[in-house]
């Protein structure tokens, strides 16, 4: 309970603890803004659509401007807001998780010849999901496309990456020709043909990929792998035992229905006829027992003959070599399967990213500007770019020798590769193009 006594205000222990905790955890209102702070947009007109929005500071853009992550119509968006319109607020007002996916991602893999398939959004886990059933070889590889665009590929930094070994997620960009995630490459996956897996790609709030994971959904589905058959062990044939002599108790019911003849009364009449039938029944029983004994003897002879021709059991060393050979065969088979998957992916990338050769038009600019190649002043225009006469001549020579910036070199356009080399400062733009042509001479017919 809470009551006032004079100038003293009494509160409960829980209220006091909560108040103290809030003072310790919350920064003062006059403290400078920092990345990660929860802020509210204030003093902006209603027509801007920004008034009253609550978001998180991402980074400063200079000149008092901040990049703020806010939720608009259920979607996370990034807005640029001046610091004078931002006010730090209680973390309890932090926006809820995005109900809809901030980006669109699709998965491509070996199970359907790298055809893009949309991934579903899990708002609770903040991840994209997709299911895949392992085919022949119990090994499938895949990567992710943003907005189904092959130039926005998400891929690992190595081949056959998996959650059991450390790796880095790269992209989205136009790289990753020979890098992919592979289910079944690590024994910890316990992969088997026909086993269903759920693939999850967790993302950051801004939609960038954060982590890749997968799990088996039907662990009871197993396909047994062939094993080296073990040789049968020779056994001693069973010894046929002689049947006990027939007695009156072992005779068929029809035979025991009659009584034994009384002594001294053998011969004709009903008693003599019964004795004859009794003797015939005993004879039939004796013949039946004899046939059973002969059958057991023949079975024993066949078992003994089979034991004589049975090959010796495989020794431990031979069995080990056979098992090693079987394991090596499985490894080679899996490698060939992965290589075939990569070849199909390479063909798919070339079909989707290949661009026609373009012709560059030279013209005069209306006003002088700076050459994009060397920085000198010029009015010479090469397509939409200013380029001086000397750089234009070098460009023309390279074009005659086969240079084309749209040619795909290991999944990346030649022009992009040259730009990366030039940005590093190791080469000029002209030298970078020549270097790319030498590295991929077969594509440019460059000697």
Sign of the Cα torsion 34, 36, 42, 48 reads positive
Q: Do 332 and 429 reside in the same domain of the chain? A: no
Tokens of 311: 């090959």
**Gyration radius of the chain over CA positions:** 43
Task: Indicate the DSSP class of residue 250.
Answer: G
Mean local confidence (pLDDT), 112-133: 92
Residue 46 lies in a domain: yes
Residue 8 lies in a domain: no
Q: Do 59 and 115 reside in the same domain of the chain? A: no
Q: Do 109 and 213 reside in the same domain of the chain? A: yes
Q: Looking at the predicted structure, is the pLDDT value of residue 126 above 80? A: yes
Is 108 within 8 Å of 142 (Cβ atoms)?
yes
Task: Indicate the DSSP class of residue 287.
Answer: H
d(CA 409, CA 402): 14
The last residue of one of the domains, among 88, 119, 154, is 88
Residue 380 lies in a domain: no
CATH of the domain at 186: 2.60.40
Mean local confidence (pLDDT), 154-158: 95
Beta strand 169-173 with 140-146 is unpaired
Residue 95 lies in a domain: no
Mean local confidence (pLDDT), 100-108: 86
Lowest mean pLDDT of 106-120, 300-314, 398-412, name the range: 300-314
Residue 122 lies in a domain: yes
Q: Do 109 and 194 reside in the same domain of the chain? A: yes
Domain range enclosing 62: 37-88
CA atoms within 13 A on the CB side of 368: 6
Is 377 within 8 Å of 369 (Cβ atoms)?
yes
Quick one: pLDDT band at residue 392, thresholds 50, 70, 90?
Answer: confident
Tokens of 4: 């006032």
Write the burial class of residue 51 (CB in 10 Å: 0-12 exposed, 13-18 middle, 19+ buried).
Answer: middle
Q: Which residue has the higher pLDDT, 197 or 403?
A: 197
Q: Do 66 and 130 reside in the same domain of the chain? A: no
Q: Do 121 and 195 reside in the same domain of the chain? A: yes
Mean local confidence (pLDDT), 225-245: 51
Residue 395 lies in a domain: yes
Q: Looking at the predicted structure, is the pLDDT value of residue 179 above 90? A: yes
Residue 93 lies in a domain: no
Q: Do 167 and 208 reside in the same domain of the chain? A: yes
Tell whether omega for the bond before 301 is within 30 degrees of 0, i.e. cis: no
Q: Do 56 and 151 reside in the same domain of the chain? A: no
Is 192 within 8 Å of 217 (Cβ atoms)?
no
Q: Do 83 and 124 reside in the same domain of the chain? A: no
Lowest mean pLDDT of 42-46, 150-154, 243-247, 440-444, name the range: 243-247
Specify which of 154-168, 229-243, 406-420 reaches the highest per-range mean pLDDT. Answer: 154-168
Q: Do 161 and 109 reside in the same domain of the chain? A: yes
Q: How many structural domains does the chain have?
A: 4
Q: Looking at the predicted structure, is the pLDDT value of residue 440 above 80? A: yes
The last residue of one of the domains, among 217, 246, 267, is 217
Q: Do 328 and 393 reside in the same domain of the chain? A: no
- pLDDT at position 2 is 44
- pLDDT at position 17 is 52
The last residue of one of the domains, among 171, 194, 217, is 217
List pLDDT tens digits, range 257-288: 444 444 444 445 556 777 888 888 888 888 88
Q: Which residue has the higher pLDDT, 261 or 44?
A: 44
3-state helix, strand, coil in the chain (%, to 5): 35, 25, 40
Mean local confidence (pLDDT), 147-154: 92
Residue 351 lies in a domain: no
Q: Mean pLDDT, the chain, as a whole number?
A: 76
Q: Do 109 and 211 reside in the same domain of the chain? A: yes
């Amino acid at each position: 309970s809470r009551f006032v006594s004079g100038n003293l205000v009494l509160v409960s222990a829980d209220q006091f603890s909560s108040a103290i905790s809030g003072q310790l955890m919350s920064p003062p209102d006059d403290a400078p803004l920092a990345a990660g702070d929860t802020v509210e947009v204030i003093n902006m007109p209603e027509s801007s659509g920004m008034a009253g929005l609550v978001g998180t500071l991402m980074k400063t853009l200079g000149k008092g401007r901040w990049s703020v992550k806010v939720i608009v119509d259920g979607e996370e968006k990034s807005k640029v807001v001046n610091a004078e319109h931002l006010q730090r607020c209680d973390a309890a007002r932090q926006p809820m998780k995005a109900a809809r996916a901030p980006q669109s991602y699709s998965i491509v893999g070996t199970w359907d010849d790298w055809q893009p398939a949309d991934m579903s959004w899990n708002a609770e886990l903040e991840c994209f999901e997709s299911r895949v059933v392992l085919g022949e070889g119990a090994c499938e590889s895949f990567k992710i496309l943003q907005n189904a665009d092959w130039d926005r590929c998400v891929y690992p930094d190595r081949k056959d990456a998996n959650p059991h070994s450390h790796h880095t997620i790269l992209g989205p960009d136009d790289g990753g020709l020979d890098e992919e995630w592979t289910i079944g490459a690590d024994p910890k996956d316990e992969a088997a043909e026909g086993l269903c897996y759920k693939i999850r790609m967790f993302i950051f709030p801004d939609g960038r990929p954060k982590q890749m994971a997968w799990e088996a959904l039907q662990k009871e589905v197993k396909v047994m792998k062939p094993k080296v058959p073990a040789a049968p062990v020779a056994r001693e044939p069973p010894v046929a035992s002689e049947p006990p002599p027939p007695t009156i108790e072992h005779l068929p019911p029809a035979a025991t229905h009659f009584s034994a003849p009384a002594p001294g009364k053998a011969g004709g009449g009903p008693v003599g006829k019964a004795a004859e039938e009794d003797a015939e029944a005993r004879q039939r029983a004796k013949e039946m027992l004899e046939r059973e004994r002969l059958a057991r003897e023949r079975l024993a002879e066949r078992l003994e003959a089979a034991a004589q021709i049975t090959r010796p059991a495989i020794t431990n060393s031979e069995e080990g070599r056979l098992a090693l050979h079987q394991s090596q065969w499985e490894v080679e088979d899996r490698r060939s399967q992965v290589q075939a998957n990569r070849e199909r992916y390479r063909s798919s990338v070339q079909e989707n990213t290949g661009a026609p050769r373009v012709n560059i038009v030279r013209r005069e600019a209306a006003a002088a500007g700076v050459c994009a190649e060397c920085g000198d002043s010029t009015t010479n225009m090469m397509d939409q770019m200013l380029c001086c006469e000397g750089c234009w001549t070098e460009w023309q020579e390279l074009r005659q020798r086969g240079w084309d910036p749209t040619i795909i070199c290991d999944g990346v356009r030649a022009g992009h590769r040259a730009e990366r080399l030039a940005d590093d400062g190791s080469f000029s733009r002209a030298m970078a193009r020549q270097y790319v042509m030498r590295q991929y001479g077969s594509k440019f017919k460059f000697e």
